[in-house]
Amino acid sequence: MDVFKAISERRSVRKFKKMEIEDQLIYKILETGLWAPSAGNLQSWDVILINDQEIKQKLTTAAYMRDFISEAPVVMVLCANMHKSATIYNDRGRELFCIQDAACAGQNMLLAIHALGLGACWVGAFDEWLVAEAVVLPRHLRPVALIPFGYPDETPLPPPRRELDELIHWNKFGQEVCIER
Amino acid sequence: MDVFKAISERRSVRKFKKMEIEDQLIYKILETGLWAPSAGNLQSWDVILINDQEIKQKLTTAAYMRDFISEAPVVMVLCANMHKSATIYNDRGRELFCIQDAACAGQNMLLAIHALGLGACWVGAFDEWLVAEAVVLPRHLRPVALIPFGYPDETPLPPPRRELDELIHWNKFGQEVCIER
């Protein structure tokens, strides 16, 4: 699938068919995550893939009872590896770079999921501690997204986006600096 | 370009030809950013595009004298809109969601840049205050990446990536929970 088509036609899918996903597709999806850029090429992120119904149910609970999570055949728990990034970059690694590493990898994987005829939804609203408990995370892995995915059973319409004109600023944003050091 | 090809063949480019970039290409790149997912569809990020040589030089200084920044025809300053995300999501919006929104948009734009025959490099190591001063950012916009881009004048080899086997964990990561609430 063309990259511009994949980017513009990807939607958040919250309804899934009761169909398993072939392992080969899952590997292909994760591989696209590995090709994302990362600070110092450290690839400071990890994933846990959940297909166990009981654990999926715990993730639904952690995400304030969004039932579509446990209804997906597989749920990806995307984690920022704070320790790995902090080893080189200290606080900036722990609080910024590992979150960006995971997000860029996550975006690649969302595009791959769509291009393979699957659907997914990036879920950010959850209790991190409950997720960590459900999938047995060590202290240095911070869960930063839940990504349930599977064969889509809905075709969502494109949600509104901002106008390009509003987004583009040349050379400076405002008239004076307001940020304080 | 095929999306899997774009994802796996994109490289970090730090050497650019002295060629301008057509405005239409720049619009096409930014549009792909707008199609990235975002928390609550708030699209809590902004960009400032720099083609002024004096400001590009200030960005190079802010990024600890990485000269390739000022040598690119255009530098994108990617910002997380902390205020927008915090309005709905409070601290989680300010410290996580707006950073993820910007990163996902940034990754889409990196893929678009590559697919259009251009090259870019995501730069994360810089003094945020100096960048904010250079492009006149209001307090609520946090610069989270500098992305110089242009026609590539180098063909970098693929850097090593982690093995898929090391990345994949099914259902749980470890044996016991170490995270403390």
Q: What is the per-residue pLDDT across A42-93, written as a single tens digit (0 to 9) for each?
A: 999 999 999 999 999 999 999 999 999 999 999 999 999 999 999 999 999 9
Which residue range forms the structural domain that includes residue B36? 3-155
- Whether residue B170 lies inside any domain: the answer is no
Q: Do B51 and A103 touch (CB under 8 A)?
A: no
Given CB atoms, is B97 within the 8 Å cutoff of chain A? yes
Tell me what ipTM this predicted complex has.
0.96
Q: What percent of chain A has pLDDT over 90?
A: 94
Q: In which element (H, E) is residue B91 found?
A: helix B82-92
Token output for B126: 């810089």
Given CB atoms, is B37 within the 8 Å cutoff of chain A? yes
**Number of structural domains, chain A?**
1
- Whether residue A114 lies inside any domain: the answer is yes
Question: How far apart (Å, rounded) are the C-alpha atoms in residues A138 and B174?
Answer: 7
Cα angle value B10/A98/B167 (rounded, 5°): 70
- Whether residue A169 lies inside any domain: the answer is no
CATH at B41: 3.40.109.10
What is the pLDDT, as a whole number, of residue A180? 52
DSSP B2: B
Q: Kindly indicate the confidence band of residue B107, based on its pLDDT and cuts at 50, 70 and 90.
A: very high
CB A179 within 8 A of CB B138: yes
- Whether residue B73 lies inside any domain: the answer is yes
- Whether residue B113 lies inside any domain: the answer is yes
Token output for B54: 């004096």
Residues of B in contact with A125 (CB under 8 A): 39, 89, 92
Over residues A103-121, mean pLDDT: 98
- Whether residue A72 lies inside any domain: the answer is yes
Chain A and chain B share a number of CB contacts under 8 A equal to 248
Question: How far apart (Å, rounded) are the C-alpha atoms in residues B171 and B53?
Answer: 51
- Whether residue B137 lies inside any domain: the answer is yes
- Whether residue B161 lies inside any domain: the answer is no
Given CB atoms, is B130 within the 8 Å cutoff of chain A? no
Question: How far apart (Å, rounded) are the C-alpha atoms in residues A161 and B61?
Answer: 34
Q: Kindly indicate the confidence band of residue B174, based on its pLDDT and cuts at 50, 70 and 90.
A: confident
pTM above 0.90, yes or no: yes
